[in-house]
Amino acid sequence: MTMYKLLNGEKVKLTAEEETAKIAEIEQANINRQARETAAADAETKKASGKQKLKDLGLDDAEINALMGV
Partner 1 sequence: MSKIEVDKVDPQSGTTLTLGTSGDTVSIPSGVTLANSGTMTGVPVPTTGIAASAISSGTIATARLGSGTASSSTFLRGDQTYAEAGGGSLTFLNTSTGSNVSSIDINGHFTSDYAHYKLIYSLYAATGNTDSMCRIMQSGSVVTSSNYWYAGMGMYRASGNTSANNTGDNGADKWLISSSDNTADSQYPCTGEMILFNPLSTSQNTTMTTTNLGYNSGSPPNAIRIWTFGGQYVDAAASSGISFSYEGGNINGTVRLYGIKNS
- Give residues 40-59 in contact with partner 1 (rule: CB under 8 A): none
Least Å distance, CB 7 to partner 1, is 5
Helix (H, G, I), strand (E, B) or coil at 22: helix
- Whichever of 30 and 57 has its CB closer to partner 1, that residue is 30
Rounded Cα gap, residues 26 and 64, in angstroms: 41
Stretch that binds partner 1, among 4-12, 44-52, 54-62 (CB under 8 A): 4-12
3-state class of 46 per DSSP?
helix
Helix, strand or coil, per DSSP, at residue 13: strand
Cβ distance to partner 1 smaller for residue 1 or 57: 1
